[in-house]
Chain A
Amino acid sequence: MDNTVIDIDSAVVSYREDIALRGVSLKVRTGEFVGIVGPNGAGKTTMLTVVNGMGKLLHGRVSVLGHCPAPGRGCCVRKRVGYVAQVQNIDPRMPMSVRDVVMIGRYGRLGLVHRPGKHDWEVVDEVLELVGMTALAQRPIGHLSGGEQQRVAIARCLAQEPEIFLLDEPTASLDWKAKSDILELVRLVHDTRRLTTLFVTHDLSALPLACDRVLLMKEGLIWAEGPPTELLSDDNLSRLYDMPVSLVEKRRREGALVHS
């Protein structure tokens, strides 16, 4: 049986005069953990927006979970796709608690008019437990640190009970400890919930080594793909980032420190 959940066929996406994706094709199978690496502006984030139906295709075809996501009519797909973005600035006075924010994850599935019931709050408390945020559940959302915020974002995705898990630089601007904690959590979530995960990063030290497959992206194209051990060679990386190998090597050592 064909177990492809994401099927992107020669997708072209452009923002004003810039072309963000120049004909990218990708198939992802159920349960795969795919890392997407590349410099800023390579089209990594755009790739994720194509999957959750927020990005508009100029050309090509996308099928996610058997549906065609598109702006305006992507709601049914989006409910089944969890999306974690970078740490965001949240107004410290925002009148929402951590629990309220995680509950937003349930809203899409609940549908219009329906109110969250007892079961929904149980799901919320359960995922807060999983990400280790139970003690802070009643905190105003704006009072959290970056690492805590990302835990909440992951909890919100899980409350959504998604089938696909998209992470867009979830560890950008976090310190090393918070970064490695989040990476561990992502892996745990991927394994225990049997999700299909796409993990985007420009930072090699933030790439979970447990990826099944890595895509290297540059200038709107998939430049290389394969298992992480083969693909992340000095030669590939220095060409990807246009940087001498010695510097890349230094970065990789930094990466090894994080994962050790």
Chain B
Amino acid sequence: MDLSIFGYQFMQNAILSAFLGGIACSVVGVFVVLMHMPFIGVCMSHAAFAGALLALWVGLNPLAGAFAFSLLAAAIVGPLADRGELSPETSVGVIFSLMLGLAFLFMGLMPGTKSSALELLWGSILTNTRGDIILLAVVAVVVVGLVAVFYKEVQATIFNRDMALSVGIPATLTLYAILFLTGATITASLRSIGGLLIFSLILNPAAAAYQLTYSMKRMFVLSACFGVLSGWAGLLMSYLFDVPSGATIVVTSSVIFMLAALFSPKRKVKGWRAETAPGGDSA
């Protein structure tokens, strides 16, 4: 195998992007999986996509548009999820379809070729610039840093928001911070992974880690490892088979999830109990 390709600047940029994006997305994925709101990720990634297209159409920086729209989606979804006025699935579903509709509307309105728009849909990690990498690095450091510093608030809020509130943790603020981080992560990874595919890089590594551990700290670490692994293995396959990298990254992450689900110790809950607590309690 000829590995001289890894000596090129664009490949090194891609490897670094996959590392940073993999970590940020998969840490955010832990929130999404444990809070049982997978649709929020889909909704936000489509909002980011719609925002980027609007910005392209009016001639602004697409990342600014993506960021504004994903924050807007967070600002709409947050209160709905928080107050339980509508079931969150319903409200997120409505916003998701609206965002998808807007995205196609803006794409239709855009004059000329649609290549820059399609690039945002599919992602193109191989053309990442130094600026993209800096943005990804900032987001990854902020996401990991905030989770590390406010770990106990995050843990309690994820576990049970009402309980967290009742012991005096600012759980509502934490929820909004989580939604905000999700939006920022999606925006930063949009160009690399693409609006359609990013959701699986958020969901799959965390869902795989979820199958394998009963410790939340370990779940964060495992998820980040799976995210980076998906990115790197996906890149390698993209190079070897000459296929789009966004697609191979997503397929790799799905394979990791399937393997984790297959070998999950949680599938055998009874066996696990008998093993760790021999003749234990009388429950």
Task: Report which A residues bind B (CB closer than 8 A).
Answer: 52, 54, 75-79, 81, 83, 85, 88, 91-97, 100-101, 104-105, 107-110, 112-113, 115-116, 135-136, 138-140, 143-145, 147-148, 156, 160
Q: Which of B235-283 contact A (CB under 8 A)?
A: 266, 269, 273, 276-277, 280-281, 283
Task: Report which B residues bind A (CB closer than 8 A).
Answer: 34, 36, 149-153, 155-156, 159-160, 162-170, 210-211, 213-216, 218-219, 266, 269, 273, 276-277, 280-281, 283
CA distance A29 to B215 in the complex (A): 42
CA distance A85 to B163 in the complex (A): 9
Contact B210 A105 (CB under 8 A): no
The answer to whether A104 and B167 touch (CB under 8 A), given A93-B210, A95-B215, is: yes
Contact A54 B165 (CB under 8 A): yes
- 10 CB-based A-B contacts, threshold 8 Å: A76-B168, A78-B166, A83-B167, A88-B160, A93-B210, A95-B210, A97-B215, A115-B152, A136-B277, A143-B269
Contact A139 B152 (CB under 8 A): no
Contact B163 A75 (CB under 8 A): no
- B213 nearest CB across to chain A (Å): 6
- A181 nearest CB across to chain B (Å): 12
CA distance A63 to B168 in the complex (A): 17
Contact B159 A104 (CB under 8 A): yes
CB-CB under 8 A from B151, the residues of chain A are: 115
Contact B34 A108 (CB under 8 A): no
CA distance A112 to B160 in the complex (A): 18
CB-CB under 8 A from B273, the residues of chain A are: 143
Contact A79 B168 (CB under 8 A): yes
Closest chain A residue to B215, Cβ basis:
A95
CA distance A167 to B184 in the complex (A): 40
CA distance A129 to B283 in the complex (A): 16
Contact B155 A85 (CB under 8 A): no
CA distance A99 to B36 in the complex (A): 23
User: Which of B149, B167, B276 has a CB less than 8 Å from the CB of A79?
Assistant: B167
- A118 nearest CB across to chain B (Å): 16
- B25 nearest CB across to chain A (Å): 19
- B151 nearest CB across to chain A (Å): 8
The answer to whether A95 and B219 touch (CB under 8 A), given A88-B160, A104-B167, A148-B283, is: yes
CB-CB under 8 A from B168, the residues of chain A are: 75-79, 107-109
CA distance A113 to B26 in the complex (A): 23
Top 4 A-B pairs, shortest CB-CB distance: A108-B168, A79-B168, A108-B167, A78-B168
CA distance A135 to B278 in the complex (A): 11
CB-CB under 8 A from B281, the residues of chain A are: 135-136, 148
- A91 nearest CB across to chain B (Å): 8
The answer to whether A96 and B167 touch (CB under 8 A), given A136-B280, A136-B281, A139-B277, is: no
CA distance A95 to B214 in the complex (A): 4
User: Which of B36, B163, B213, B280 has a CB less than 8 Å from the CB of A104?
Assistant: B163
Closest chain B residue to A97, Cβ basis:
B214
Contact B152 A135 (CB under 8 A): no
CB-CB under 8 A from B269, the residues of chain A are: 92, 143
User: Which of B155, B266, B280 has a CB less than 8 Å from the CB of A100?
Assistant: B155
CB-CB under 8 A from B213, the residues of chain A are: 95
The answer to whether A105 and B280 touch (CB under 8 A), given A95-B218, A143-B273, is: no
- B237 nearest CB across to chain A (Å): 30
